[in-house]
A and B are shown apart, each in its own frame.
Chain A
Amino acid sequence: MMEKLFQERKEKLVFFKRLRNKINHQTRNEIPDGLYCKCASCNETILQKVLVNNLYVCPRCGHHHQLPAHQRLALLYDQGRYKELYQQIEHLNPLDFPGYDEKIKMLQDKTKLDEAVVVASGKINGTKVITCVMDSRFLMGSMSSAVGEKITRVIEHATKRKYPLIIFCASGGARMQEGIYSLMQMAKTSSALARHHEAGLLYISYITHPTTGGVTASFAMLGDIIIGEPHALIGFAGARVIESTIKQKLPEGFQRTEFMEKQGFIDLIVKRQDMRSTIIRILKMHSKGAK
């Protein structure tokens, strides 16, 4: 029965992707649009269609490639239906950073996203759930004022309406171009989460590749339950900075979800094909009817 469900999901995903007339994305570590692409881990040449149908997971080695925000939402919500909230948010350029406004505009055109996070509401197995999905195609998923604002707004909304919350993290950390404003978004989002927490509501933090810097040091590590995707990077400082500080090589698998699970900072690692079903099980155990 589960298989049938997944088959349906996959079909919907393909349909959905066609509907969104294929988003263009060509940064590193990403799957370029085309007939074929290469797995970033095992180098296997894969039919693009096959990879998409396999939820962007390499059919040969199981490597989880980055999943664009809307594809993840479509995969997560019932019938792939959800409502995107707080779109077309205003941008700040508090440092008057040269070329920053143009860069945002260019990325908006290229990714069809308004910022590095998509926030949405919809039903998962009939339960209303608020979701934030960060998308690393947009300036490495870095934390801008707009990202902080969208996430804070939606947390406040979830607190007010008593909805559970899921944040899919993916971020290079701070948005350098916004300076101290970016840093303060860590305090802003964490303060909003404190209220959601005090209201006794469920927050699932979902670590996807890569989650680093200020996002790790704020909402990524504040989940009641912290889930990791296989082999996703999760850490605070960059590996190169650490190596140059301590003058030694870092161990194999350092700052990967499996490593941090062993260290006691991640509750469980879930394969993408089990994402929705795992979330449904967790939601059920937190529903009012559960005894």
Chain B
Amino acid sequence: MALIDLEKQITQLQQQLSNSENKEEQKALKIQIAKLKDEAYNNISAYDRVYMARKSNRPHIQDYIQNIFDDFIELHGDRLYLDDGSIMGGIALLDNQPVTVIGHAKGRTLDENLHCNFGMSSPEGYRKALRLMKQAEKFHRPIITFIDTPGAYPGLEAEQHGIGEAIARNLREMATLSVPVIAVVVGEGGSGGALALSVADRILMLENSVYSILSPEGFASILWKDKEGTRVKEAASLMKLTAKDLYEMKIIDHIIKEPKTGATVTSQKVYEQLKDYFIKTILELNKLSKTNLLNKRYQKYRTIGQVSVL
């Protein structure tokens, strides 16, 4: 059974437990809950990870900023057209080291989600991100990005304003940024919209995050004309989109461990691991010469899907 269904059952039982006054019944329910939890979290499938990556109680960029950095000043706008709420960015202090932090924003209430367009960015968002990255380069600040998007926004205006161009430019410009760049996929890493913030020296993923060419729903629909969503689970496992898969394929560098039931806003250990990794890695990357840093970044992408000519 999928995690989503098991979690529903567990919640139901927990409700029963809190309503129950009979000690015998309570005991039985507790055993049943423990058994279900065991079943739920010990056999996590790829599709379960997709579900977990999308959960709204996962930490969002605001939570990471608050728990990892000592100070943060948010900066707005692309200096061209407007401020896209789906991407948040600014300057932060990481243990006294100034860094630029940029990432997709997601909300928990409808209002919040409307403001950040459910984490789906328009060209203005990617251009804001690039402006902040260029600013970081000017002041020799390392860049940390948090990736959490279902994908770039498929809208009329997004196309009119050149969403393709905005993503393309980010890819090219990020390849030449002379400061260290670390990207963390914290939830959904959806397609080009995720890639546009993640051309980096190090890419990490949270244990229950996913990173893929498109959603498993889209994949099943395109390849198998699956309109009812009956083959989504199959798609998820075929796509190799979990942190473990991507680590094994050498696309990402490190996995951040999560609590068994998934990261939440209060998962201090997740923040600690990230903070330690950032501090350690920035120190390491700062030692490299600019040429060396850029060569290594180039090689990182150069070798993905490298095939030989017969």
Contact = CB atoms under 8 A, between A and B. Distances in A.
Given A148-B305, A217-B163, A236 B152 contact: yes
A180 B213 contact: yes
A183 B308 contact: no
B156 A221 contact: no
A28 to B, nearest CB: 16
Interface string A191-213: 11111011000000000000001
Contacts, number: 180
B306 interface: yes
B218 to A, nearest CB: 9
A90 interface: yes
A173 to B, nearest CB: 9
Main secondary structure of the interface of A (DSSP, over half): helix
A78 interface: no
Contacts of A242: 154-156, 159
Contacts of B249: 94, 180-181
A146 B192 contact: no
A185 B213 CA distance: 11
Interface residues of A, number: 66
Contact of A193 (B172, B241, B305): B172
Given A149-B306, A222-B172, A263 B161 contact: yes
B305 A237 contact: no
A174 B165 contact: no
B302 A188 contact: yes
Interface in B260-310: 297-298, 301-302, 304-310
Contact of A198 (B176, B241, B251): B176
Given A179-B212, A214-B192, A216-B168, A236 B156 contact: no
Given A174-B214, A179-B213, A184 B301 contact: yes
B136 to A, nearest CB: 17
A183 B162 contact: no
Nearest to A234: B164
B231 to A, nearest CB: 13
Contact of B222 (A145, A176, A178): A176
Contact of B305 (A185, A238, A250, A251): A185
B191 interface: yes
B159 A235 contact: yes
B175 A187 contact: yes
Give the residue among A152, A185, A235, A248 with the most B Cβ atoms within 10 A: A235
Nearest to A248: B156
Interface stretch (A3-11, A37-45, A81-89, A130-138): A81-89
Interface of A: 86-92, 94-95, 97, 144-146, 148-149, 152-153, 174, 176-188, 190-195, 197-198, 213-214, 216-222, 234-238, 241-242, 245-246, 248, 250-251, 254-255, 260, 263-265
